[in-house]
């Protein structure tokens, strides 16, 4: 028999469910639907309701097209909702953890991340939000105020909702941890720099953040993909690109004024806009939401000084090489390896080839994946950690379970501890296989570390191995076999990479 629980918000009462060990509230609107005239505008207030509103059905995902790594599709712009998971036992003043999902900036939904174990393990309140993605989040055009920042603004609206409402769920609005993985971690970096996010969160965790402070050589993100600039774009450049894209796709009439063009753009069916979504995933800077690129602000210490955690998985790039090269029928070969190196690194190619010789690995694809893990993931993460540690308390981890279950199956490819492989340890994901006992134990330990950090600004747990901060050079390796320090610099050849492109 379903047991319901009611919470009264400032906008009206909601009815959630009392489940095994936790309370679940889903699909709570935190802002008005950004449709029609509200498309590409800051999130607007929710219209209050008078009757009790059911909060038992997940909110609709932000508009997105299916990808090889995610089969979720949606064309409904009414997507600004969030889920709240609360331990079943009564309590007040609990730490709050606000989750920003990954998905490359074009995909993902809060519904995927069932936070019951995380909430119960650490006695925390977990909020997971949907926010605008792709072309609806990071589009820019002359005359469009706030272009390129609508996803960030949605997340700030979530944090303001938390400050206003979370005490009604037993959470402490003065103790909020913002955490995210992959693209979600990139957004966390944006909030660390954004003046509009100041005071809305008090700790932060960045899991597998990508290219926060620098560019990425060709082929080292995905074989065949050219060099990538930093993940932030000047607003003026975005405006020019958005205007050119709108004309090219016939979304606006040539010669239209900016005002007329925006009116036309707000009438374009979302399914047409989604065709260009992957081109609009870089948040824009030089406006009030993000005045400065985090690439410049973070090394200069211009960010919110709060306790920070960050880390990577041991084999990040195996996900991208396995999915987009081997499984796509275009594996890295002994013939293509030198060409990829030359195009990525120019005159340094021979030196890198000597360190990552294909014959030292089971396959050329695995050699390339190790190279990419070290250059495109471990090096930037380490540099980001050192940047943070120069200004605030910072802890660094490496998820190292090479037998982790695969969220996206890679048949025949040794996935190892690939990108996103830590997520089934933190959340219950739909379709994910159950964790065997040793991995379930690691999952509990990881959630204890994460929630201890949320509670105290330090992951230290009396019942778990010590975790010194990264200022001491320590990186905490997390695997079923062992939890403890690892030589991350040596493991990923970071001294070698320090003086290379």
Per the structure, how many domains does the chain have? Answer: 1
Closest-CA residue to 181 (of 420, 476, 452): 420
SS (H, E, C) 2-48: CEEEEEEECCEEEEEEEECCEEEEEEEECCCCCCHHHCCCCCCCCCC
182 has catalytic annotation? yes
Residue 1 has pLDDT above 60, yes or no: no
**Is residue 443 in a domain?**
yes
Residue 353 has pLDDT above 90, yes or no: yes
In whole angstroms, what separates CA 212 from the centre of its chain? Answer: 12
Give the pLDDT confidence of 356-406 residue by residue, as tens digits. Answer: 999 999 999 999 999 999 999 999 999 999 999 999 999 999 999 999 998
468 is a domain residue? no
Q: Which residues form the domain of 223?
A: 3-459
* pLDDT one-digit tens code per residue, 406-441: 888 899 999 999 999 999 999 999 988 889 999 999
Indicate the length of the chain as a whole number.
501
Report if residue 486 sits inside a domain. Answer: no
Asked, for residue 247, whether it belongs to a domain, the answer is yes
- Joined tokens for residue 417: 């501890």
Among residues 132, 118, 110, the alpha carbon closest in space to that of 426 is found at 118
Q: Is residue 206 part of a domain?
A: yes
Could you tell me if 170 and 125 are in contact, meaning their C-beta atoms sit under 8 angstroms apart?
yes
**Residue 480 within a domain:** no
DSSP state letter for 89:
S
* d(C-alpha 330, C-alpha 325), whole Å: 5
Q: Over 70: is that where the pLDDT of 272 sits?
A: yes
Query: Does residue 464 belong to any structural domain of this protein?
Result: no
Asked whether residue 33 carries a pLDDT value surpassing 70, the answer given is: yes
Q: Among the listed ranges 18-22, 65-69, 84-88, 216-220, which one has the minimum average pLDDT value?
A: 65-69
CATH number for the domain spanning 428: value is 3.40.50.1820
Average pLDDT, the chain: 97
> Residue 256 corresponds to which tokens in the numbers above?
């239209």
55 inside domain: yes
Q: Dihedral (C-alpha) 228, 234, 239, 241: value to the nearest 10 degrees?
A: -20
Catalytic residue among 24, 74, 182, 208: 182
């Amino acid at each position: 028999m379903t047991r319901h629980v009611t919470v009264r918000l400032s906008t009206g009462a909601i009815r959630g469910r009392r489940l095994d060990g936790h309370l679940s509230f889903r699909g709570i609107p935190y802002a008005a639907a950004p449709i029609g005239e509200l498309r590409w505008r800051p999130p607007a207030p929710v219209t209050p309701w008078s009757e009790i509103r059911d909060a038992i059905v997940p909110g609709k995902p932000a508009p997105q097209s299916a990808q090889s790594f995610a089969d979720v599709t949606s064309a409904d712009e009414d997507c600004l909702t969030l889920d709240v998971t609360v331990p079943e036992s009564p309590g007040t003043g609990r730490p709050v953890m606000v989750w920003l999902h990954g998905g490359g900036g074009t995909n993902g939904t809060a519904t995927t991340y069932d936070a019951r174990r995380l909430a119960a393990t650490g006695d925390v309140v977990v909020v997971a939000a949907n926010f605008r993605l792709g072309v609806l989040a990071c589009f820019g055009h002359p005359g469009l105020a706030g272009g390129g920042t609508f996803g960030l603004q949605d997340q700030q609206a979530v944090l303001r909702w938390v400050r206003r409402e979370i005490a009604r769920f037993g959470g402490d609005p003065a103790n909020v941890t913002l955490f995210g993985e992959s693209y979600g971690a990139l957004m966390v970096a944006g909030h660390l720099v954004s003046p509009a996010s100041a005071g809305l969160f008090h700790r932060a965790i960045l899991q597998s953040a990508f290219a926060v402070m620098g560019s990425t050589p060709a082929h080292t993100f995905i074989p065949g993909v050219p060099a990538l600039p930093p993940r932030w774009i000047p607003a003026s450049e975005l405006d020019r690109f958005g205007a050119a894209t709108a004309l090219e796709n016939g979304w606006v009439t040539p010669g239209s004024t900016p005002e007329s063009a925006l009116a036309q753009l707000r009438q374009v069916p979302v399914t047409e806009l989604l065709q260009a979504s992957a081109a609009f995933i870089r948040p824009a800077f030089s406006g009030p939401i993000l005045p400065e690129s985090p690439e410049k602000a973070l090394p200069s210490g211009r960010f919110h000084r709060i306790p920070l955690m960050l880390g990577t998985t041991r084999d990040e790039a195996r996900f991208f090489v396995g999915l987009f090269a081997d499984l796509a029928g275009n594996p890295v070969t002994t013939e293509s390896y030198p060409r990829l190196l030359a195009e990525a690194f120019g005159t340094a190619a021979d030196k890198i080839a000597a360190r990552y010789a294909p014959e030292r690995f089971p396959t050329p694809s695995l050699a390339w994946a190790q190279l990419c893990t070290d250059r495109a993931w471990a090096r930037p993460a380490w540099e980001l950690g050192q940047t943070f540690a120069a200004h605030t308390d910072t802890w660094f981890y490496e998820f190292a379970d090479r037998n982790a279950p695969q969220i996206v199956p890679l048949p025949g490819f040794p996935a190892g501890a690939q990108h996103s492989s830590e997520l089934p340890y933190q959340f219950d994901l739909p379709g994910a296989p159950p964790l065997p006992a040793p991995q379930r134990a690691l999952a509990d330990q990881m959630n204890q570390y994460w929630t201890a950090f949320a509670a105290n600004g330090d992951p230290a747990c009396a019942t778990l191995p010590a975790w010194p901060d990264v200022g001491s050079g320590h990186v905490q390796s997390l695997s079923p076999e062992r939890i403890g320090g690892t030589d991350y610099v040596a493991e990923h050849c970071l001294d070698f990479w320090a003086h290379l492109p």
